[in-house]
Amino acid sequence: MAEHTIGVISDTHGILRPEILQVFKDCGQIIHAGDIGDPHIIDSLGKIASVYAVRGNCDRDGWAYSLPLTKIVEIGDVCIYLMHDLNRLDLDPKAAGFDAVISGHTHRPLLECRNGVMFLNPGSAGPKRFNLPISAARLRIKGKSIEAEFIKLDD
Containing domain of residue 127, as a range?
3-152
**Which CATH number belongs to the domain containing residue 47 in this structure?**
3.60.21.10
Asked if 91 and 70 count as a contact pair (C-beta separation under 8 A), the reply is no
- Vertex 127 angle, CA 13 and 5, to 5°: 70
Rounded to an integer, what distance in angstroms lies between the CA atom of residue 134 and that of residue 22?
Answer: 16
Q: How confident is the model at residue 130 (pLDDT cuts 50, 70, 90)?
A: confident
Phi-psi category of residue 82: left, alpha or beta, with phi > 0 → left and psi -120 to 50 → alpha:
beta
Dihedral sign, Cα of residue 64, residue 69, residue 74, residue 78: positive
Asked if 126 and 13 count as a contact pair (C-beta separation under 8 A), the reply is yes
35-55 pLDDT per residue, tens: 999 999 999 999 999 999 999
Q: How many domains does the chain have?
A: 1
The HSE-up count of residue 68 (CA atoms within 13 Å, CB side) is 9
Q: How confident is the model at residue 129 (pLDDT cuts 50, 70, 90)?
A: confident
63-110 pLDDT per residue, tens: 999 999 999 999 999 999 999 999 999 999 999 999 999 999 999 999
Predicted pLDDT of residue 155: 72
1-37 pLDDT per residue, tens: 799 999 999 999 999 999 999 999 999 999 999 999 9
